Amino acid sequence: MSGISLNAVGLRGIGIIGGAAAGIIIHLFGLEWPFFVITAANILAIGITAYIRGIEERAVVKTQSLWSDLVEGIQIVRNNRVILALMVMAATCEMFGFSYSVLLPVFARDILDVGAVGLGMFSAVRSVGGLIAGLILASLGDYKYKGRIQLGLFLAFGVSLILFANSSLYPLSLFFIGIVGITAAGHDAMQHILFQLNVTEEQRGRAMGIWQLSIGFGVLGSVALGALAETLGASLAQSVYGAVMVIIFVILVLIVPKLRNL
């Protein structure tokens, strides 16, 4: 739990700098320049990664065909109800929760009128929230009630999206997007943790493959949210998505009570 949480700290920590910097770069140089900076940063990261030494291989991994990998993954989902529930939670959270980012430019430009710098601050503040979430989870260690944390974060994610969608004051919107950042990053980290802890050690790679498959549904939510915003407006569309997450939370608690005891 601490290792995965600290990984989240690293991811969100650099996002604080990147989010604010992107808004300033767009404001000063234009929309295309953040992409040049991102490319340079990735090239630098590749160079740094190439110098990592001293990684010890703990086991010899048996090579299997793609079909065998797929069949084994399906068997895990079919035989492990907890993994199936986590997969559903990950897919729905990605579709109705994480898709909020596609509307942030609309809120910054059309609703709150804060422009590119304001949009960059949204990214920075939600990264601050993610950093806080990672530090809190890392400090908990091997906390007993991980499932309750996961469900609580899922519910809070949906509620905070509704509050953000209906805020007309920029400082208040920044506060709510910070809460969104905490709940989103915390939920993401807890998903990794619970997927890893509820399979055997030999199945952990398959478990992460199942998680990657689940979050792949996110693109459907993003496309649908954009279409819904065209019809209902950004605030109402985002409120609907937040409400769907609250409804899904209730369904999961009723149908899979075992999640509370993970």
For the chain, domain boundaries: 2-261
The set of residues, in sequence order, having a beta carbon less than 8 Å from that of 82 and lying 6+ positions away, is 194, 198, 256, 258, 259, 262
Residue 97 has a pLDDT of: 86
Phi/psi for 143 (5° steps) reads -65, 140
Residue 120 has a pLDDT of: 82
Return per-residue pLDDT of the chain as tens, 262 residues.
Answer: 677 777 777 777 777 777 778 878 888 888 888 899 889 989 999 999 888 887 776 655 566 666 666 677 677 767 777 777 888 888 888 889 888 889 999 998 888 888 888 888 888 888 888 888 888 887 777 777 888 888 899 999 999 999 999 998 999 999 999 999 889 888 888 888 887 777 777 777 777 777 777 777 788 888 999 999 999 999 999 999 999 999 989 988 888 777 777 7
Residue 205 in tokens: 């790679």
Residue 6 has a pLDDT of: 76
The set of residues, in sequence order, having a beta carbon less than 8 Å from that of 206 and lying 6+ positions away, is 69, 72, 73, 76, 199
Residue 57 has a pLDDT of: 67
- Report whether CATH 3.40.50.620 matches the domain 2-261: no
Task: Give the HSE-up count for residue 103: Cα atoms under 13 Å, Cβ half-sphere.
Answer: 31
Residue 213 has a pLDDT of: 75
Residue 237 has a pLDDT of: 93
